[in-house]
Each structure stands twice: as structure tokens, then as C-alpha cells.
Amino acid sequence: MTSALQITGGVPLEGTIEVRGAKNFVPKAMVAALLGSTPSVLQNVPEIKDVKVVTDLVALHGVEVNNDGQGALTLDPSNVTRARYADIDAHAGDSRIPILLCGPLLHTLGEAFIPDLGGCKIGDRPINYHLDVLRNFGAKVEKLESGIKMSAPNGLHGAKVELPYPSVGATEQVLLSATRARGRTELRGAATEPEIMNLIAVLQKMGAIITVQTDRVIHIEGVEELKGYNHRAMCDRIEAASWGSAALVTGGSIFVKGATQSDMMTFLNVFRKTGGDLDIRDDGIQFSHPGGSLNPLVVETDVHPGFMTDWQQPLVVALTQADGVSIVHETVYENRFGFTRALKGMGANIQLHRDCLGSTPCRFGQSNFVHSAIISGRTPLKAKDIHVPDLRGGFSHLIAALGAEGRSKVTGVELIQRGYERFTSKLEALGANFDVVDA
């Protein structure tokens, strides 16, 4: 993978690209394969770093993984085994996936290990909900110098769990732990993102009994055995929306093959409110700049069915090109506006605030977190050398450079590869003007 891109901005991105399986679903489905007694087949798998990390991690635990090179992964969990802590640590990289391996490993081996976890630096990203969930199911949690050791010599049992916040990861933790636990589980305060519904679909194919009720309540009846699944991963709705914002920022028109309307309704409404043109088809969505001016917006990020926090950063770049004042209130992560510093350096007019500048006060309102932004547009963007801070912030820097006048050097682009499959080939297909250079 390249380490720097020299981008000459000002060229509208135009053409067709394809987006494959979701970064925030595929790794979880790969982990679910460990719960089966027979091999699973997962299709539409993208070539991104997170898939490679999870492949290495499950392989370390004895899962035989076969990639056909066309996007189909076969995962055979017949010989799941213990792995050395140092190896888990070395292979986990920045990934938070080891925490989700705990339930399946506790069922099969009676123990699991979590090294110090990484992931994008977008707030504290604690794992307290996960640890509480696992304790509820009967796991013993022991802090070691190198990480956290879990054990459940007598297996896991069903439990009543109430999450303080509808966390995506903690909901997945419950699903992956409860399906093979003894007895029933009731989860209150569950997250209901499409990625979670897709994971439930996978688990149901495997033989699980999971009922999703109203008001964020999920019931799971534990079963003794699950078999393998065959499933096509849902499209990455974060990547799809990111390209939609790229079309707005560069004044272009991008057909995103694979983009699925039902998973993106909230984004599509916001896109249309900015004045963007949409053509929603069965095989994908065309996102186009209208050609005139864009409208400013008031947007709050939220859990599903709200506006995703991961849609926020590329949209903020588009809002620098809208005529008027936009307000964005981030309510999912306390620290997700760091990327705006580089945008300000490129000429954007963005003010950050500690107050909740939305209609609903959020968890961060009484704390000292800078989690609201006022964006005044329209401000032409000027080229700047930028170092990518995290995945979504990095993609937004990339599209800012593509929309800016002049030549920018963007370093640290490997981070973008964590979640955007072959993005340089896609940029080429869309007519972007860039060169791959030494960092």
C-alpha cells in the first residue's frame, strides 16, 4: 500500500464504482463462524485491512480460512484451539475485534484473552459495557499486565442485560455470547443498526432463535449447537455515503453500485436536503451535485435510525461548500471533530463548541467535550499537506484535497485502507488527478 498521495484538486469526480461488504459487518460475521459446528461461507467480502486482521486472528485460533479471491471466504471452525497471548496481541493490530471473539471462544474453549485494544482515536472508546455483559453471562474477568483474561469453565448462561446506551459492539457481544448460552437472554437498550440485523440474520441461518421486539428489546433462546451459514454481506453504507459526499465536494456525479436504499434512508434525506440529486436504482445509487449552490443544514448524529456518526466527517466537508450556516451535533462519540483542524487550514470556516447545538441534549452536554460544530460556507478550499488522523477523518481530508484548488500531499493514507477497499483504483476510475509518491 502507498504511503502518500499527491492530489491536484478541482476535478469533479465522475463515473461508477462498486462498494462491497460492510467493514462493520463482515468481521462480526467472521467471528460468528466460530460458533458453528460446520464451515461457513461469507460472500461479498471486501479486501480491506480489517478483514485481513480478523482472518489472522481466527486463523491463530485454529479456524481454517479460505479466500477464493473473488470475495467468498470459507471459514472452517472444526479445530478451534487456544492461541498465545503474545500472538493475539501481535495480530490484533489496531482492531477492537478480539473483544467480540470472547463469547464464541468461551463457549468452545472455556477461556479467551483481550489485548490492549485500538481502533480509531475518536474518544475513549471504553469496553466496560462488553465486560459487564460477559460477567452477566458468567465469565470471570481477570486483568493482567498484558490485557484481560476471561474464563468460564462451566460455560455461559443466559442473562438479563440492560445497556446504558445502545452500543453497537455491546449488542453484538450479547448476540454472539447468548445464542449458545444455557437458557434465555433478554437484552434491553439494544442497538438496531442494519449491521446488527444482518448479524442476527446470519445467526438465524446457523440455527439461533432471536426475537427482535419493539423499544430496543431482543430475546435470545440459547441452543446447544449451531451449524455453519452461507451469507452475502450487506453493502458498506458508510463507504457508499462517503462517495456521495465526495460527489458534492468535487461538484461531480458518482454511481455507487451496491449502495442499498433501505440501509441509507436517513443519509439520502440529508443528501437531498443539501440540494444533492439522487437516482435510486435497484443495483445502486447515483449521487450528483446539482450544479448550482448547496443548502446549509442542521444535523445531529445518532444511533440507528438516526444519522450515523460515520457519515458525519465527509458530510462536514460538503457543508463547507454550502451557502450559509450549518450546525452539526455529534452525540455518539465525544471527540470526533479533530479532523476539522486540517479543514480550517484549508480555508474552511468551522467553529467548535462544547454545548449541545442540537434539539436534543446529549450525554456530552454537561461535560467538557467539544462535540458541536458550526460551519459557515461557502468557503473555497485551498490545497494543504495533510496527515491522515483516523479512518473517517482521513477520507474527509482526502475529498477535501480533491475539491481544493492546487496540489496537496496526503500522508498516512494506509489508515484509509482499513475501511475503503482499493480506494486509489476507485479514485482513478472517477477521474481524480493524483500521483502516488513517497511519504
As given in the structure block, the three cell numbers for residue 165 are 446506551
Span interacting with ligand EPU, options 85-93, 306-314, 340-348, 351-359, rule CB under 6 A: 306-314
Which position among 53, 88, 105, 120 is part of the footprint of ligand EPU (CB under 6 A)? Answer: 120
Separation of alpha carbons 391 and 415, rounded Å: 6
**Residue 168 vs 241, nearer CB to ligand EPU:** 168
**Residue 169 vs 276, nearer CB to ligand EPU:** 169
Contact 277, 244 (CB under 8 A): no
**Minimum Å distance from CB 44 to ligand EPU?**
17
As given in the structure block, the three cell numbers for residue 202 are 446470519
Separation of alpha carbons 176 and 156, rounded Å: 11
**Minimum Å distance from CB 224 to ligand EPU?**
28
Binding mask 161-200 for ligand EPU (x = CB under 6 A): ----x-xxxx--------------------x---------
**Going by DSSP bridges, is the β-strand pair 349-353/372-377 parallel, antiparallel, or unpaired?**
antiparallel
**Residue 149 vs 409, nearer CB to ligand EPU:** 149
Contact 234, 67 (CB under 8 A): no
**Residue 23 vs 61, nearer CB to ligand EPU:** 23
Q: Of 120, 235, 356, 362, which one is the catalytic site residue?
A: 120
Region class of 313: left (phi > 0), else alpha (psi between -120 and 50), else beta: alpha
CA 249 to chain centre: 22
Q: From residue 25, give the alpha-carbon distance in Å to each of 107, 169, 198, 359, 419.
A: 22, 11, 8, 30, 11
Please report, as residue ranges, which positions from 322 to 341 form the binding site for ligand EPU (by CB under 6 A): 332-333
Contact 67, 76 (CB under 8 A): no
**Minimum Å distance from CB 100 to ligand EPU?**
9
Nearest to 176 by CA among 140, 202, 194, 151: 202
Please report, as residue ranges, which positions from 203 to 262 form the binding site for ligand EPU (by CB under 6 A): 238
Helix (H, G, I), strand (E, B) or coil at 179: coil
Span interacting with ligand EPU, options 110-118, 121-129, 258-266, 421-429, rule CB under 6 A: 121-129
Does 391 sit near ligand EPU (CB under 6 A)?
yes
Does 125 sit near ligand EPU (CB under 6 A)?
yes
Binding mask 128-157 for ligand EPU (x = CB under 6 A): xxx---------------------------
Separation of alpha carbons 326 and 207, rounded Å: 47
Which position among 9, 12, 13, 24 is part of the footprint of ligand EPU (CB under 6 A)? Answer: 24
Q: Is 120 a catalytic residue?
A: yes
Angle at 21 between CA 17 and CA 24, to 5 degrees: 120
Does 301 sit near ligand EPU (CB under 6 A)?
no
Separation of alpha carbons 129 and 189, rounded Å: 12
Which position among 84, 86, 90, 126 is part of the footprint of ligand EPU (CB under 6 A)? Answer: 126
Contact 105, 31 (CB under 8 A): no
* Shortest-Cβ-distance residue relative to ligand EPU: 169
Separation of alpha carbons 279 and 281, rounded Å: 6
Binding site for ligand EPU (CB under 6 A): 23-24, 96, 120, 123-130, 165, 167-170, 191, 238, 308-310, 332-333, 391-392, 419
Catalytic residues: 120
